[in-house]
Amino acid sequence: METTHVVILVLYLIGMVGTGIWFSRSKKIATGDDFIFAGRQLPIVVMVGTLIATWVGSGTIIGGASFVYAYGPIAGLIYFSSAPVGMVLLYFLAARIRQASSYTVPQLLEVRFGMSVRMLAALITVLAYVGITAYQFTGGGNIIGMVTGLDAGTGAIIAAVIITFLALGGGLKSVAWSDFFSAIIIIVGLIVAIPIVLGETDGFTGWWEGLAPEQTTATGGLSWLAMIGYLLPTFLLILADQNMYQRLSASKDPASARKSMAGMLFASFLIYLPVTLLATAAISILPDLETPDNAVLGLAGHGVLPVVIGGIILASALAFIITTGSSFLLSVGGNIVYDGFDRFGKGLGDKARLVTHRLTILVIGVLAYILGTFFPTVLELQMYSYTVYGVALVPAVFSAFFWRRATTPGVLSSMALGVIVTIGWEQTTDSELNAVVISLPAALVALVVVSLLTKPKSRDLPQEVTSAGTSRNDADGN
pLDDT in tens, 193-207: 899 999 888 888 889
* Mean pLDDT of all residues in 382-403: 85
Question: Are residues 257 and 263 in contact, defined by beta-carbon separation less than 8 angstroms?
Answer: no
**DSSP-derived 3-state class of residue 475:** coil
* Closest of 387, 373, 393, 329 to residue 54, by C-alpha: 329
Q: Rounded to whole angstroms, how far apart are CA atoms 37 and 103? A: 8
CA 368 distance to own-chain centroid: 14
Please return the burial class of 333, using the count of CB atoms within 10 Å of its CB with bins 0-12, 13-18 and 19+: buried
Between 417 and 182, the more confident residue is 417
Q: What is the pLDDT of residue 32?
A: 56
Among candidate residues 268, 210, 235, the one with its CA nearest the CA of residue 69:
210
The confidence score (pLDDT) of residue 347 equals 62
The average confidence (pLDDT) of the chain is 82
pLDDT at residue 331 is higher than 70:
yes
Give the distance, in angstroms, between the CA of residue 473 and the centroid of all CA atoms in the same chain.
30
Examine the pLDDT at 428 and tell me if it is beyond 70.
yes
* pLDDT tens figures, 30-42: 555 666 666 677 7
**pLDDT higher at 321 or 415:** 415
Q: What is the dihedral of CA 355, 360, 366, 369, to 10 degrees?
A: -120
Give the relative orientation of helices 436-453 and 408-428 as an angle to the nearest 10 degrees: 160
Q: What are phi and psi of 205, to 5 degrees?
A: -65, -55
When pLDDT is cut at 50, 70 and 90, the band that residue 186 belongs to is confident
Domain boundaries, the chain: 3-386
Would the pLDDT of 446 be above 90? yes
Write down the pLDDT at residue 304.
Answer: 82
Q: Which of 16, 33, 469 lies closest to 42 in space, CA to CA?
A: 33
294 or 475: which leads in pLDDT:
294
- Whole-model pTM: value is 0.78
d(CA 113, CA 338): 17
Whether residue 363 has pLDDT greater than 80: yes
Q: Which of 470, 397, 460 is nearest to 101 (CA)?
A: 470
User: Does the structure show a pLDDT above 90 at 61?
Assistant: no
Stretch among 173-182, 201-210, 308-317 having the lowest mean pLDDT: 173-182
pLDDT range class, residue 69, cuts 50, 70, 90: very high
pLDDT bracket for residue 476 (50, 70, 90): very low
Name the pLDDT band for 302 (thresholds 50, 70, 90). confident
Confidence of residue 376 (pLDDT cuts 50, 70, 90): low
Alpha-helix residue ranges (DSSP H) falling in 2-114: 3-23, 32-37, 44-55, 58, 65-71, 73-100, 105-113
Q: Enumerate the H helices of 101-202 as residue ranges.
A: 105-113, 115-148, 152-168, 172-200
Identity at 263, one-letter amino acid code: G
- Mean pLDDT for 294-322 is 81
Fold classified for 3-386: Sodium/glucose cotransporter (1.20.1730)
Q: Rounded mean pLDDT of 394-402? A: 91
Task: Yes or no: say if 467 and 263 are a contact pair by the CB < 8 Å rule.
Answer: no
- Identify the band that residue 421 occupies on the pLDDT scale cut at 50, 70 and 90: very high
Task: State the pLDDT at residue 168.
Answer: 75
pLDDT over 70 for what percent of the chain? 86
- What average pLDDT does the segment 332-355 reach? 76
Q: Which amino acid appears at position 194 of this protein?
A: I
